[in-house]
């Protein structure tokens, strides 16, 4: 039986299935709850960015994840 630990909240994910109950983003493993928090944090910022730029978005996502890893949670 495999388990995986979320890099942000340190929750243990039993029987991890990538894309369903854990996500690998920016060299970090993130549980489903933290992934939802990440999306909730980024959505208002992304909506104000015109024109949209994928390089900017990827940098923003990576910075948000690194800050959350240091704090242990996402600021939502």
For 44, the token pair is 């208002």
pLDDT of the residue at 32: 95
* Cβ-proximal residues to 55 (8 Å cutoff; 6+ apart), any chain: none
Domain ranges of the chain: 3-71
> Is 23's pLDDT higher than 90?
yes
Of all residues in the chain, the percent with pLDDT exceeding 90 is: 86
Interval 40-69: pLDDT, tens: 999 999 999 889 899 999 999 999 999 999
Measure the CA dihedral 55/23/68/37, to 10°.
Answer: 90
Q: What is the mean pLDDT of residues 10-26?
A: 92
């Amino acid at each position: 039986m495999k388990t995986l630990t979320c890099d942000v909240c340190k929750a243990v994910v039993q029987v991890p299935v990538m894309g369903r109950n854990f996500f690998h983003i920016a060299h970090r493993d993130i549980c489903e709850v933290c992934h939802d928090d990440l999306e909730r944090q980024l959505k208002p910022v992304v909506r104000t960015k015109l024109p949209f730029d994928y390089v900017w978005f990827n940098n923003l996502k990576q910075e948000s994840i690194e800050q959350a890893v240091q704090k242990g949670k996402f600021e939502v």
